[in-house]
Structure 1
Amino acid sequence: MPKPLAVVGATLVPLALTVVPMATTPLVADGAVATYKLSYASLPNGTKQVVRWNGCQLGITYKVNLGAVPLAQRAAVLADTQKALVQVQNSTGFRFVYKGSTTEVPRVGSMPKQTAELVVAFTSPTKTDYPLSGSTLGQGGLYYGWVSRTVSGKTTYTVAAQRGFVVIDTPQMLSQLKSGTGTGLRRQNLLSHELGHAVGLQHVDDTHQQMYPSLRTTSPQFFYTGDRTGLTKVGKPAGCINTAYMPLPDLN
């Protein structure tokens, strides 16, 4: 069997706090292998909340940077990206709204300046400071904001995902992964994994799931059962979040 291609990379950064990685917790019975894991915000009062997009948001805007893709392959790579987004949309209920191309390449600290809520950049390791080295083909993640409200001495927090990103090591992707739909070493499966991070999923140890940290010859087409369960948990069915006073506005 070929050596698995690592797709390790999940970044969760608070907009209202110091930039630090957040903890994740498996949502399964004790002793079982987690089939999905969600992202959590650690709040100043010692509590944690799931980080997810507002279930009542009209749409999540996105732009795609195809700058590192040869002209003859750009249409196919964009199609692969949009097919992966359709699968995320089908499991979450969110509507992803394409706002065209961009030259933006996500970097640490760049999220507040994004011109779309989600930016997918096909780039090279030298253009971003998110780690793309060795066999790491991609990074994906979320930025979130929170607001607090104190009533009668009791403080509560509201948390919402505000921006997301995906960066792909394009030369390595084009040389090692196939286009089109199917299981195994395919671009759409790499994109599904990283988009999973961008909507709030983390890595799992279950090799059947797309959110396993390595892309393999046995990787599922798009998402498997645990992945889809996790996407539902962070999707539209989870309900509305009041984002009126969040650090960043909705862009739809």
Structure 2
Amino acid sequence: MFGSRRRRQRELDARLRELYLLEEAYGRYGQPPPALPSPRQPSRVPGFIALVVVAGVTISAVFAMQPQIFPDRVHELLGTTPERLLPARDIPSGPGEFSFMATQPETGDPVGYNPCEVIEVAINPDGAPDDHQELVETAIEHTSDATGLQFELVGTTEDRDFENMSMDDPVLVMWADEDEAPDLADDIAGVGGSYRVSAYGGATERYVTGFVILDRDAYDDMRSDDMRQAIVDHEFGHLVGLGHVDDPRQLMHERGGFVTHYGDGDLTGLAELGAIGCS
């Protein structure tokens, strides 16, 4: 049942192992990335709700050291200690489940975005529904409110190359079909994830950019506004670092379509992702 998707994952893993991203910074260059990609998480649900099924991916790469990923101690020595842009959210204590797409190799803490930097987002409107900007703006609002991360919608882009992104690129949101994004095949209505980086010799990894890809055909056929928004919100949950769960009360349930808003477990995980230290 999942054979073709597993083959696709193996192909992507092989490509990532060969990836060599060179980013000049302070006269130093990146190194070939380790084999760190996490598995994609396809999900399915029967019948009409199959249109709202969602999936996530996290991709790893090592880039050159940049000021925004200096260790905190270096910032302190240089007098450039970063500060949060928005307050950290109180972490709820509800009973719901949550999981993370990736964790720090040494501590087990979640990998997340730097809360001291704006997460820029750009939309490619080609093939997108008429209300695409409203859908993205609402997802940004929901995810920011839950994490304390600050997003900025910077406009539109012609870029569609979600597999070859630079760490300076804004998060890419686009609508596509399975020919362009094979992971949208069958009943997968969305894919989301982020690229993570680490500094030279540093143990702490951070997400720096990513993508959210929605199924164009599914959105053409879908009539429920709540479900249409739920897909985008779910993929933004993957974008900032949430993984799938078995708890059907959560928006991040692996099969999707059971709820249309972040549940208490989702909110706990999102708050923890937003509460990581600045870097």
Q: TM-score range by the shorter chain?
A: 0.7 to 0.9
- Structure 1 runs (4+) deviating above 3 angstroms are 1-4, 46-49
Note the 1:84-163 alignment, pairs <5 A. Answer: 84-108=139-163, 110-112=164-166, 115-116=169-170, 118-129=171-182, 131-149=183-201, 157-163=203-209
Alpha-carbon displacement from aligned partner over 1:179-201 (angstroms, at most 9, x marks no partner): 3xx4xxx1110001111000000
Q: Secondary structure at the match of 2:203?
A: strand
1:233 aligns with 2:278: no
The equivalent of 1:214 in structure 2 is 255
After superposition, give the CA deviation of every residue in 1:126-162 in whole Å (9 maximum; x if it has no partner).
Answer: 2235x1101101100011001244xxxxxx5121111
| Contact 1:105-1:123 at 8 Å conserved across structures | no
SS across alignment from 2:242 = coil
Q: Which moved more, 1:60-69 or 1:168-177?
A: 168-177
Name the stretch that deviates more: 168-177 or 158-167.
Answer: 168-177
1:201, 1:143 → 2: CA distance? Answer: 14
| Partner Cα separation in structure 1 for residue 264 and residue 108 of structure 2 | 26
**Rounded Cα–Cα distance in structure 2 between residues aligned with 1:9 and 1:165:** 12
What is the CA RMSD across the aligned residues, in angstroms?
A: 2.3
Aligned length: 202
Aligned equivalents of 1:239 and 1:42: distance in 2?
Answer: 13
SS in 1 for 2:204: strand
Matched, 1:51 2:111: yes
Q: Could you tell me how far 1:4 is from its partner in structure 2?
A: 3.4
SS of equivalent to 2:174: strand
Q: What amino acid does structure 2 have at the position aligned with 1:89?
A: S
Amino acid at match of 1:136: I
3-state SS of 1:40 partner? coil
Contact preservation (8 Å) 2:167, 2:209: no
Unaligned runs of 5+ in 1: 18-32, 150-155, 242-252
> Deviation digits for residues 30-69 of structure 1, max 9, x if unmatched?
xxx96100122564xx765521001211x11000112013
Q: Distance in 2 between matches of 1:159 and 1:7?
A: 29
Post-superposition Cα deviations, 1:210-229, rounded to whole Å, max 9, x if no partner, equal 0012232x313x31111111
Preserved CA contact (<8 Å) 1:34 1:205: no
TM-score (norm 2): 0.66
Could you say what secondary structure the match of 2:100 adopts? strand
Q: What secondary structure does 1:172 align onto? A: helix
Separation in 2 of the partners of 1:122 and 1:145? 26
Letter in 2 for 1:176: M
Cα contact 2:61–2:197 (8 A) shared by 1: yes
SS in 2 for 1:134: coil
Deviation at 1:113, TM superposition (A): 6.9
Give the partner amino acid of 1:187: R
**Contact 2:175–2:214 (8 Å) recurs in 1:** yes
Contact 2:178/2:185, CA 8 A, preserved across alignment:
yes
Question: Could you say which residue in structure 2 is the equivalent of 1:61?
Answer: 120
Q: Percent identity?
A: 24
Output the CA distance in 2 between the equivalents of 1:127 and 1:95: 30
Answer whether contact 2:121 2:153 (CA < 8 A) is retained. yes
- Distance (Å, rounded) in 2 between the aligned partners of 1:139 and 1:197: 8
Q: Which amino acid aligns with 2:125?
A: L
Which has more helix, going by share of residues?
Answer: 2
Q: What pairs up with 1:76-91 in 2 under 5 angstroms?
A: 76-91=131-146
Q: Post-superposition shift, 1:175?
A: 0.4
**Which sections of structure 2, spanning at least 5 residues, go unmatched?**
1-45, 64-94
